Amino acid sequence: MKNTKKRLDLIHEIATKSPDLGKTAMMKHLFLLQEVYGVCLGYDFDIYTYGPFSSEVMSDINFAELFNFITVDYNVGANGYKINPTDKEDIDKEFSKDNSEVIIEEMNLFKDKGVKALELLTTIVYLHKQAAKNEAGWNREKTVTNVHALKPHYDLENDIIPEYDFLEKAGVLTKLLDA
């Protein structure tokens, strides 16, 4: 239950800082906060069609909606969901307050990235972190090549390499190895 309170607090906080996020985007922000910024959430992520995925995140989003921490509305025109915070007053905000610096940093860095970009960015992070843990000498070329093999619908030169460079310039790839 302790992790659940933290997770619900964080889901509400992300929805507050970035209203109208979809479920996939919410998942990507939680992934980045855990894997790059070291926020202890206890989620297990696996690589999936749209990047890193955790069924626990989906359950927590549903749980947060059930207990009125957030609203989740289906947007027919966008063919997706919009998550927004509620004004529920009995949310324990201690966890998000304790992690406010990294939440703000992550949200500011990735706030202008759409869901497709978040899919690609989190896939780069996932593969880079997994490979770097398991293989000495892991580098940029190996990461972008493997991302392209996994996601051939993204152009190597115009999509994958620029997003890898964005992550590298922002210091994200260095942080994730320390997280």
pTM over 0.85: yes
Tell me, what's the pLDDT at 49?
Answer: 85
State phi, psi for 86 to the nearest 5 degrees: -100, 175
Q: How many helices (H) and strands (E) does the chain have?
A: 9, 4
- The lowest-confidence range among 16-25, 31-40, 84-93, 114-123 is 84-93
Give the helix/strand (H/E) hosting 83. strand 80-85
Among all chains, which residue has been given the structure tokens 């990507």? 28
Token reading at 168: 């590298």
Rounded Cα gap, residues 107 and 172, in angstroms: 13
What's the Cα-to-Cα distance from 165 to each of 20, 75, 143, 175, 177, rounded to whole Å?
28, 33, 11, 14, 16
CATH number of 2-106: 1.10.10
Tell me, what's the pLDDT at 171?
Answer: 93
pLDDT per residue over 78-116, tens digit each? 788 999 999 987 888 999 999 999 999 999 999 899 999
